[in-house]
Each structure stands twice: as structure tokens, then as C-alpha cells.
Amino acid sequence: MVGHALGQPVTDASPHETIRALALSLFDTIDAHPWVGSALTRSPLQMPVVRILERLGQQVRAMGVAEAGQFAAVSALLSYIVGVSVQNAANAQMGRALGGDREAILAEAAQAWSALDADAFPFVRSIAAQFPAHDDRADFLAGIDLILRGLSSRV
């Protein structure tokens, strides 16, 4: 599964584009097959993770990240990709167990969040209205972009 998600290296894309595509492919693979995320987290030293590290590392290197920072950069990307993908897959499984109407489930949570104490939870209350219709894939890619911008600013 991971080999399929990694696909063939793309030679005409920028490192940012390649990392985004790789991250989204892994996100979609783990969403469709949650066991893949579990396998990756249970076997972090095995070849599936090594293949991901290699693909990410090649792109981080191509971005011009200093050698001393490459391991930390790739570790941050890998942790974000796997962690968020596994959490998203778990949320989807929970949603199916609760009846499968994602927007209704999130709307109910948003309503509860809107009723929280305004002084104790000002941020959560401020995002409650956006929560029911948010796009998990777009939010995931926004996180990847934040990491990539941070790496680019240090090159």
C-alpha cells in the first residue's frame, strides 16, 4: 500500500509540489485503509517508513535545507503526515459508528462548543461556526504548507 501511495518519483515538479502530492497520497491511502496508519506507527523502522523517509528526504535536500537540519525537517513532515492521517481515519471510523452524517455530527459538536464559557474558550467558540463544513484534506495540506514555508524560510 505504501509503495502504491508513494508512486513513481516526479522529476518535473518542485520539491514543495512533490511533498504535497506525496503527503496527500499517504493521507488518502490511510483514509481508505486505516490499518496502513497503524502499521506505520507500529513499525517505524521497517521498509515502508524507510521508503517514506527517503522520498521526503530527497525533496528536503532538493529544497536546500542544510544537512544538519534535514533529519529534523523530515521527522517533522513524517510525524505530521502520519499523525494527522491516522487521526483523520480514526475520526472517519468514529463518524461511521455514530451514523455517518459527518456534517450533522460536527454541527452538534460546534453547537456545544458555541455554548462554552466565552472567557475560558474564546478561540474554540470563534471557530465553532466553521467546524461543521471544514475540509479535512484542505486543512491537512494547509499544515503541510506551513511546515514547508517554515523550512523555506530557513534555507
How far apart are the C-alpha atoms of 18 and 101, rounded to whole Å? 33
- The number of distinct structural domains making up the chain is 1
Q: CATH code at 54? A: 1.10.357.10
In a domain? residue 50: yes
pTM value? 0.87
16-70 pLDDT tens trace: 999 999 999 999 999 999 999 999 999 888 999 999 999 999 999 999 999 999 9
In a domain? residue 114: no
64-87 pLDDT tens trace: 999 999 999 999 999 999 999 999
In a domain? residue 108: no
Write down the pLDDT at residue 5: 58
Kindly give the residue spans of alpha helices, DSSP state H, lying in the chain.
2-6, 15-32, 34-42, 47-63, 67-97, 102-114, 122-127, 136-153
Residue at 74: amino acid letter: V
In a domain? residue 36: yes
In a domain? residue 119: no
Write down the pLDDT at residue 153: 84
- Structural contact between residues 6 and 52, judged by C-beta atoms closer than 8 angstroms: yes
Q: Alpha carbon 27 to chain centroid distance?
A: 6
In a domain? residue 10: yes
Q: Could you list the residue range(s) of the whole structural domain that residue 61 is in?
A: 2-100+136-153
Helix pair 67-97, 47-63: axis angle to 10 deg: 130
- pLDDT-derived band at 94 (thresholds 50, 70, 90) equals confident
Q: Give CA torsion, residues 46, 48, 50, 56, to 10 deg.
A: -160
Taking all residues of the chain, what is their mean pLDDT, rounded to a whole number?
92
How far apart are the C-alpha atoms of 57 and 67, rounded to whole Å? 10
Write down the pLDDT at residue 66: 94
In a domain? residue 124: no
Does 10 have pLDDT greater than 80?
Answer: no
In a domain? residue 112: no
